[in-house]
Amino acid sequence: MKKLIPAYVRVPLLFFIVALTMEFFIDSGNKPAFIEYPMVSVFLFVFLFVLIAIEITISAVDNVTYQLLSEEEKQRLEAEEQLGITESTWYKNMMQKLTKSKPIAAEHELVLDHDYDGIKELDNDLPPWWKYLFIVSIIWGFAYFAYYEMFGGDNQEMELQKAIAEAQIKLEEYKKTAPDLMSADNVTLLTDAADLSKGKTIYETNCAACHKIDGGGQIGPNLTDNHWILGGGIKEVFHTISEGGRDGKGMVSWKTMLKPTEIQQVASYVLSLAGTNPPEAKAAEGEVWEGQATVATNAEEVAN
C-alpha cells in the first residue's frame, strides 16, 4: 500500500535523527560518540536492524492485507492512491479542522444582508489556528511585560555582561591548567629532574653564549650569585626571559621563540644554578634578592 514517505527515505531519516540526537546529548569530547563509546555503535547497529525489520514486517502485512481485499476494494484503494496529497481524505479533514471553512455548496448559509452592486459578503469565521495564536500572543505579552518590567528580569545587556563574566571565569580557570597560556602571574617553580634537564638543554642552546655554559656570566650577568638586576624569583625570571631585559642594554624577548612551558623550564633551571660558584664567574650586578635563599635550597634538594 502507498505510503506518504517511502521506506528508503523513512529508515535513513529516522536512523540519522536518533544518531544525531545521541551525538548531541552524549559528551564524547573531540571524538564522535560512536567512536568514543563502542556501546553507542552497538545500539545504533541494533536500532538500524530493528527499523529494517519493522519495514519488512509492515510490507509483508500490507501485501497479505491487499490479497484479502475484494476486487472492488482493490480498485477503490488503487483509485485513492492515484489522488494527489491535496485531494486525499486525510488532507481535506486536516484543513477542515484548521480553517473550519464551509464548502462552496454551503456558502449560501454565510451570505450577509449586504449587497453592493451585486457583490455580496460572506460571514466567514476566523480560522481556529489564527484565534489560538492571537490568544497565546496576548498571554505571552503579559508574561513578557511582567517578567522584565515588574520582576526585574535580565535584559539583553545584563545577559551579555553575565555571559562575559562567566566566560572570563572559565578562561581564568583554563589558564591555570593550560601550560601554553602560562604567564608571569601564574608560573610556578619546577623542581622535577626531567623539567630541569629540559631547561638545561634550552639554556645551553640559547643562553650559554651570553651567560656561559656554567652560568657564570659573560656578556650577560652572573646567574649563580644572589644578585639580580630585575629580580630573582621564578615570576621575575620568567618575565625577564619572556619580555626581555632593560631597554637598549638587556636581553632580547624570547616569547616569540620559546613556548611558555619552555620558558618556565629554563627559568627554573637558571634558578637551580644559584650557589654553584663556577670558576672565573663575573662580578655580581644588581641587588641582593631576598627570596633567593629559598629558591636555592629547593633547587639544591632536587639536585641532590
pLDDT at 203 over 60: yes
With CA atoms as reference, report the closest residue to 183 among 233, 234, 239. Answer: 239
DSSP state letters, 240-263 = HHHH-SSTTTSPPP-TTTS-HHHH
**The Cα angle at residue 292 between residues 289 and 296, in degrees rounded to 5:** 160
Strands 227-228 and 119-122: unpaired
More confident residue, 193 or 125: 193
**What is the model's pLDDT at position 296?**
37
**What is the model's pLDDT at position 293?**
38
Q: pLDDT of 58-74, one tens digit each?
A: 889 888 888 888 888 88
Report the mean per-residue pLDDT for the chain: 84
- Reduce the DSSP state of residue 180 to 3 states and report it: helix
Q: Which residues contact 292 (CB under 8 A, 6 or more apart)?
A: 226, 228, 232, 274
Q: What are phi and psi of 148, to 5 degrees?
A: -90, -35
**What is the model's pLDDT at position 301?**
39
The CA distance from 251 to 26, in Å, is 51
0.75 surpassed by pTM: no
Q: At what angle do helices 260-272 and 292-303 cross, to 10 degrees?
A: 90
